[in-house]
Amino acid sequence: MNSPTPQPLPIRALIAPVTPLQQNCTIVWCVKTKKAAIIDPGGEVDRLMDALAEHGLTLEKIWITHGHLDHAGGTAALKARTGCPIEGPHPDDAFWIDDIGASGAKWGMPEAQSFTPDRWLQDGDVVTLGETQFEVIHCPGHTPGHVVFFHREARFAQVGDVLFQGSIGRTDFPRGNHQDLIDAITKKLWPLGEDVRFVPGHGPMSTFGQERKTNPFVADMILANE
């Protein structure tokens, strides 16, 4: 019997590290419609617009995982350029977004400005892109209003600064909470499946399964021995 032909994935993604902090801005798009979302436009808006044009994409949404400068500093400029709606993060990160202008001046990114999302996101919400949809998962700990975008069919997640290859997000910022972060990873992300590939906020991609085996902060063996 012949094996079934694998179906093409409904989405594609392009990672574009931006700002001096090399934050992973992600362009995701619906393959069928070429409608795109930019996740976490921390800066370098001209470069992001060039990437859209290079791939023949039309920007439809701006999605924000959390309110830190390196992830959201270019959001206001991108909205001004395109008029596209901003979705996310969770409203508990409003104080971080309000601080973007001051943080930008402090860190040599004077173009960074605060903004007001067109839609704040809650755990369990769904965001649409072309003919596809992503699930919204509230994962506090790194920041109180951090969210993750998950495409179930493609087994793909953009997790921001919740989880990295071999590490987890910092929790020493205002209103960070280490136990909340561990709980978000183990109780909300791990049940999605070990095969899920994820783009972290910084560094290379990995899978939930790989991190459950080897991550020194949240590997199953590490947590079982605590």
Interval 145-202: pLDDT, tens: 999 999 999 999 999 999 999 999 999 999 999 999 999 999 999 999 999 999 999 9
CB 93 within 8 A of CB 174: no
The encoded tokens of residue 71 equal 């992830």
pLDDT at 106: 87
Radius of gyration of the chain (CA): 17
Asked if residue 28 is part of any domain, the answer here is: yes
Give the CATH number for residue 187: 3.60.15.10
d(CA 155, CA 198): 8
The chain-wide mean pLDDT, for the chain, equals 94
Asked if residue 1 is part of any domain, the answer here is: no
Residues 6 or more apart whose Cβ sits within 8 Å of residue 221: none
Asked if residue 197 is part of any domain, the answer here is: yes
d(CA 204, CA 24): 9
Q: What are phi and psi of 221, to 5 degrees?
A: -65, -40
Asked if residue 116 is part of any domain, the answer here is: yes
CB 106 within 8 A of CB 113: no
Interval 111-144: pLDDT, tens: 899 999 999 999 999 999 999 999 999 999 999 9
Q: What is the mean pLDDT of residues 60-84?
A: 97
Asked if residue 58 is part of any domain, the answer here is: yes
Which 3 state secondary structure label does DSSP give 194? coil
Residues 6 or more apart whose Cβ sits within 8 Å of residue 42: 18, 19, 21, 23, 25, 69, 70, 71, 72, 73, 74
Asked if residue 135 is part of any domain, the answer here is: yes
Residue-range definition of the domain harbouring residue 86 = 11-224
Q: Quote the number of domains for the chain.
A: 1
> Does the structure show a pLDDT above 60 at 4?
no
Q: What is the mean pLDDT of residues 47-75?
A: 97
d(CA 183, CA 63): 23
Asked if residue 125 is part of any domain, the answer here is: yes
Interval 88-108: pLDDT, tens: 999 999 999 999 999 988 888
CB 49 within 8 A of CB 81: yes
pLDDT at 1: 45
Which 3 state secondary structure label does DSSP give 162? coil
Asked if residue 141 is part of any domain, the answer here is: yes
